[in-house]
């Protein structure tokens, strides 16, 4: 489910810029485009929003950039960037943005897409920063967010302390979700920030959370010196190469846009999200000298896990499972909290010559107690022990209309693992066959005993492990109205996986014709087929056989900018699953969105109404939903019922924005929703978000 995509955002985005809509909207639409690519719940795109926000306010000077800022933007392919830089070398500085039309691999759509974020200026940027200027021009952002749980859930029932203390079914805290954030930024050069979050069910200034919020994050970040290119203190993110060896944040999976198969690593970034595990905590520095770069980082943070005392050695403890949910609501969750310390230290050295780049890294990761998960046949090659070393080397090479990229990594595990080391590699190419056609190819081979905790390599499975595959995709523009995207991926899992008791294989392919007769209307259809193999649920005997599991998605999507104020979006999606043991299952969803964003009014309104009908949870359908800034929701729609939400944004007092969003699922013939502590007695599940932002 980590794959999937869409290009509607791209088009919507262009439409937005056409009408000269405001910044928030341009960025919100861009984010929608990116979120669509994930197709999963609970993703956090805070960094991406901030990056776009920044470049909107401080457009990139095309006469000054070495390409790395354009990569950060995430809207351009490497070939387009190298095309621009080659053009500048050959013909000198750009005089106007209209010159972009003469670039071979830039079409009009691309130009419209990046236009709000770039400029042409013959004065070079001055990177000298004085403290006075930094204070005067810096920007402060304060966020306060409250998300109550509307319906009563079983875990919040009033029970006596003794019952609660003896059970894992009751939450200690209240059902509110609190979030607060403060951040100071000066261009992209300085960022200092603080974030606090309390999940529903966690205590606040009481019990296990005596310090208030359950999760705190703070950072101080500097970027932009000549030799000291970046420094991070506190919480930060590290990205290296293609995400095989080390990548602490998330990255795109397979998308209908082949360009996302190549990762563009931003070596060091401030961490401002609320995922309680996927970040580094400590210090890092990114040094540079001429064409060389050196990134050094160290992190030490506590993580959650179940700890068991070894019966034969009374003073020896080990951790059997890691808990990455970040939730601390019940006795068992609190007991797992911060039981393990994770230490990471790493270095990456890289050399850049023109558009050729090569890097090498070494990373150490260790725990203060052995991490020994229960051994099953399928997971026997996973990491077990205290220490791991990972070495990797990565490259990017641009030549004319071809961009080659890849990474090779090797992990050395502690002797407890049994298997001591494994290899992983991926190599890819993006080729512009024509100004209207680009083609991509990615080969990956991740061994079953290659294991790393922080990775984001191109893969079908959820980890950069136990997978071999070949992906090939194409993006074609036939004329100004018609275009087509497609890809095919063949993959093999040479060893068993969770729920798959044999080596397995499968494929995925997607085809998406797009018709866009003018700038305000777009319609596309998408067909996607995935075949994976899973354990059969019907069999006789002791061995579980695997069987083919074929999923097909059909989608019709329409978006129409009716006027400056009104946008109209419709979607019908149909999904089928076929397998021998479970038979034929289907699901469908129909959504209608209406956005009202008049230019002169301080109030925006977004509405959705949707009906869904799926045979089972297996045939659930994910759908992106608009939400308050920095709140991300791509919920799964399943069973039978309706969904509606209203989102209001009100801007006032020049510096303040208030978001209020109310939505609900109303299920048919279902009187109990969820189970355990999350159980709701009734057929309605609502959600409410109230968020205030003050920026000055």
Partner 1 sequence: MQGIMSIKMQFRNIVGWVIGCGLSLSSMFAQGWAPAGGRSRAMGDASVTLADVWAYHHNPAANAGLKQFGAGISYENRFLLKELQTQSLALALPLKKGVLSFGAQVFGYTQFRSMKSGIGYSIALTDLISIGTQINVHQIRLGQGYGNVLKATGELGVLAKIKEGWNVGFSVFNISRTLLSKYQEDRLTTVMRLGTSYRFSEKLLVCAEAEKNVEFPLRGKVGLEYLPAKTVALRTGFSTNPIELNAGVGCSFKNLYFLDFGSAYTQLVGWSPNVSFTYRLK
- List residues near partner 1 by CB under 8 A: 433-434, 436-437, 439, 470, 472, 474, 476, 478, 486, 488, 490, 492, 505, 507, 509, 529, 531
CA–CA distance, 403 with 381 (Å, rounded to integer): 34
Distance of closest approach, residue 251 Cβ to partner 1, in angstroms: 25
Contact between residue 429 and residue 401 where contact means Cβ atoms under 8 Å apart: no
Contact between residue 3 and residue 16 where contact means Cβ atoms under 8 Å apart: no
Distance of closest approach, residue 485 Cβ to partner 1, in angstroms: 12
Distance of closest approach, residue 431 Cβ to partner 1, in angstroms: 8
If the CB atoms of residues 373 and 492 are measured against partner 1, the closer one turns out to be 492
Closest CA to 571 of 518, 606, 530, 611: 611
If the CB atoms of residues 326 and 428 are measured against partner 1, the closer one turns out to be 428
Distance of closest approach, residue 487 Cβ to partner 1, in angstroms: 9
In this structure, what token pair is assigned to residue 624? 């992106």
If the CB atoms of residues 52 and 546 are measured against partner 1, the closer one turns out to be 546
Distance of closest approach, residue 225 Cβ to partner 1, in angstroms: 42
If the CB atoms of residues 419 and 492 are measured against partner 1, the closer one turns out to be 492
If the CB atoms of residues 474 and 611 are measured against partner 1, the closer one turns out to be 474
Distance of closest approach, residue 511 Cβ to partner 1, in angstroms: 8
Distance of closest approach, residue 37 Cβ to partner 1, in angstroms: 22
If the CB atoms of residues 436 and 684 are measured against partner 1, the closer one turns out to be 436
CA–CA distance, 25 with 40 (Å, rounded to integer): 23
CA–CA distance, 27 with 53 (Å, rounded to integer): 7
Distance of closest approach, residue 541 Cβ to partner 1, in angstroms: 19
Q: For 243-272, b where at least 16 C-beta lie within 10 A, e where not — what string?
A: bbbbbbbbbbbbbbbbbbbbbbbbbbbbbb
Extended strands (E) in 136-279: 139-147, 177-186, 190-198, 215-223, 228-238, 268-270
Distance of closest approach, residue 509 Cβ to partner 1, in angstroms: 7
Contact between residue 346 and residue 246 where contact means Cβ atoms under 8 Å apart: yes
CA–CA distance, 557 with 567 (Å, rounded to integer): 14
In this structure, what token pair is assigned to residue 201? 């069910």
Residue corresponding to tokens 């042409």: 120
If the CB atoms of residues 181 and 555 are measured against partner 1, the closer one turns out to be 555
Find the distance separating the first CA and the last CA of the chain, reported in whole Å: 40
CA–CA distance, 87 with 274 (Å, rounded to integer): 42
If the CB atoms of residues 283 and 470 are measured against partner 1, the closer one turns out to be 470
Distance of closest approach, residue 488 Cβ to partner 1, in angstroms: 5
If the CB atoms of residues 287 and 511 are measured against partner 1, the closer one turns out to be 511
Distance of closest approach, residue 507 Cβ to partner 1, in angstroms: 5
Q: What is the 3-state secondary structure (H, E, C) of 107-140?
A: CHHHHHHHHHHEECCCCCCCCCCCHHHHHHHCEE
If the CB atoms of residues 149 and 533 are measured against partner 1, the closer one turns out to be 533
Distance of closest approach, residue 466 Cβ to partner 1, in angstroms: 16
Contact between residue 516 and residue 509 where contact means Cβ atoms under 8 Å apart: no
CA torsion angle 449 359 38 466 (round to 10) = -10
Distance of closest approach, residue 490 Cβ to partner 1, in angstroms: 6
Q: For 572-595, b where at least 16 C-beta lie within 10 A, e where not — what string?
A: ebbbbbebeebeebebbbebbbeb
If the CB atoms of residues 233 and 484 are measured against partner 1, the closer one turns out to be 484
- Is the torsion defined by CA of 228, 231, 237, 238 positive or negative? positive
In this structure, what token pair is assigned to residue 397? 């090479």
Q: What is the 3-state secondary structure (H, E, C) of 394-441?
A: EEEEEECCEEEEEEEEEEEECHHHCCCEEEEEEEEEEEEEECCEEEEE
Distance of closest approach, residue 106 Cβ to partner 1, in angstroms: 16
Neighbours of 654 (CB within 10 A): 7
Phi, psi of 40 (to 5 degrees): -145, 170
Contact between residue 345 and residue 227 where contact means Cβ atoms under 8 Å apart: no
Going by C-beta distance under 8 Å and a sequence separation of 6 or more, which residues neighbour residue 155?
A: 169, 170, 171, 201, 329, 330, 676, 677, 678, 679
Residue corresponding to tokens 């071979």: 104
If the CB atoms of residues 507 and 519 are measured against partner 1, the closer one turns out to be 507
If the CB atoms of residues 169 and 529 are measured against partner 1, the closer one turns out to be 529
Q: Alpha carbon of 525 to those of 97, 107, 484, 510, 588: distances in Å?
A: 33, 22, 10, 11, 15
If the CB atoms of residues 170 and 493 are measured against partner 1, the closer one turns out to be 493
If the CB atoms of residues 426 and 647 are measured against partner 1, the closer one turns out to be 426
Going by C-beta distance under 8 Å and a sequence separation of 6 or more, which residues neighbour residue 518?
A: none
Distance of closest approach, residue 510 Cβ to partner 1, in angstroms: 11
- Is the torsion defined by CA of 545, 450, 379, 677 positive or negative? negative
Distance of closest approach, residue 486 Cβ to partner 1, in angstroms: 7
- The H-or-E segment that residue 504 falls in is strand 504-515
Give 520's DSSP letter.
S
Distance of closest approach, residue 5 Cβ to partner 1, in angstroms: 18
If the CB atoms of residues 335 and 507 are measured against partner 1, the closer one turns out to be 507
In this structure, what token pair is assigned to residue 585? 């299952």
CA–CA distance, 657 with 446 (Å, rounded to integer): 47
């Amino acid at each position: 489910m980590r794959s999937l995509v869409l290009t509607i955002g791209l088009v919507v985005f262009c439409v937005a810029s056409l009408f000269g809509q405001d910044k928030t909207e341009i960025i919100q639409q861009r984010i929608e485009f990116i979120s669509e690519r994930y197709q999963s719940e609970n993703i956090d795109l805070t960094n991406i929003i901030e990056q776009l926000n920044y470049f909107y306010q401080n457009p990139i000077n095309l006469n000054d950039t070495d390409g790395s800022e354009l990569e950060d933007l995430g809207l351009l392919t490497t070939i387009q960037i190298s095309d621009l830089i080659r053009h500048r070398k050959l013909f000198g500085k750009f005089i106007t943005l209209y010159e972009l039309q003469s670039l071979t691999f830039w079409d009009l759509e691309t130009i419209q897409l990046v236009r709000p974020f770039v400029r042409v200026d013959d004065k070079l940027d001055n990177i000298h920063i004085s403290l006075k200027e930094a204070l005067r021009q810096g920007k402060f952002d304060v966020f306060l967010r409250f998300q109550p749980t509307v319906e009563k859930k079983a875990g919040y029932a009033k029970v006596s302390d003794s019952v609660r203390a003896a059970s894992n079914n009751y939450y200690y805290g209240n059902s509110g979700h609190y979030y607060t954030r403060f951040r100071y930024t000066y261009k992209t050069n300085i960022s200092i920030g603080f974030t606090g979050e309390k999940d529903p069910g966690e205590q606040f200034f009481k019990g296990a959370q005596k310090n208030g919020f359950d999760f705190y994050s703070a950072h101080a970040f500097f970027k932009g010196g000549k030799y000291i290119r970046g420094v991070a203190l506190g919480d930060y993110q590290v990205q290296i190469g293609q995400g095989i060896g080390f990548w602490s944040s998330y990255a795109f999976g397979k998308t209908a846009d082949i360009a996302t198969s190549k990762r563009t690593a931003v070596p060091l970034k401030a961490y401002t999200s609320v995922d309680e595990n996927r970040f580094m905590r400590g210090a890092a520095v990114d040094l540079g000298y001429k064409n060389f770069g050196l990134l050094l980082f160290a992190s030490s943070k506590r993580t959650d896990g179940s700890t068991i005392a070894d019966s034969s050695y009374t003073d020896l403890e080990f951790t059997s499972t890691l808990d990455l949910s970040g939730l601390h609501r019940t006795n068992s969750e609190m007991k797992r909290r911060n039981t393990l310390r994770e230490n990471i230290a790493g270095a990456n050295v890289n050399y850049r010559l023109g558009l050729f780049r090569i890097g090498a890294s070494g990373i150490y990761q260790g725990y203060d107690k052995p991490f020994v998960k229960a051994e099953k046949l399928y997971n026997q090659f996973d990491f077990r022990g205290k220490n791991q070393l990972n070495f990797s080397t990565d490259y990017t090479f641009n030549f004319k209309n071809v961009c080659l990229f890849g990474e090779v990594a090797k992990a050395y595990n502690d002797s407890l693992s049994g298997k001591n080391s494994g290899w992983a590699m991926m190599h890819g190419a993006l080729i512009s066959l024509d100004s209207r056609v680009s083609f991509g190819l990615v080969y990956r081979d991740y061994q079953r005993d290659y294991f790393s905790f922080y990775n984001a390599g191109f893969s079908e499975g959820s980890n950069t492990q136990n997978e071999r595959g070949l992906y090939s995709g194409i993006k074609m523009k036939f004329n100004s109205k018609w275009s087509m995207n497609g890809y095919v991926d063949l993959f093999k899992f040479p060893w068993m996986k969770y729920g798959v008791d044999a080596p397995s294989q499968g494929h995925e392919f997607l085809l998406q014709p797009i018709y866009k007769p003018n700038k305000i209307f777009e319609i596309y259809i998408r067909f996607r087929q995935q075949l994976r193999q899973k354990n059969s649920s019907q069999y006789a005997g002791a061995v579980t056989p695997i069987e083919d599991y074929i999923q097909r998605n059909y989608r019709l999507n329409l978006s129409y900018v009716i006027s400056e104020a009104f946008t109209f979006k419709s979607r019908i999606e149909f999904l089928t699953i076929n397998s021998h043991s479970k038979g034929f299952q289907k699901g469908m969803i129909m959504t209608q969105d209406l956005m009202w964003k008049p230019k002169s009014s301080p109030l925006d309104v977004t509405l959705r109404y949707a009906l869904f009908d799926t045979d089972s949870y297996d045939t659930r359908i994910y759908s992106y939903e608009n939400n308050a800034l920095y709140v991300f929701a791509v919920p799964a729609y399943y069973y039978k019922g309706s969904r509606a939400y209203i989102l209001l944004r009100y801007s006032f007092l020049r510096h303040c924005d208030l978001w209020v969003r109310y939505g609900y699922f109303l299920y048919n013939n279902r009187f109990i929703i969820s189970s355990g502590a999350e159980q709701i007695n009734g057929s309605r599940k609502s959600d409410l978000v109230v968020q205030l932002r003050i920026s000055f």
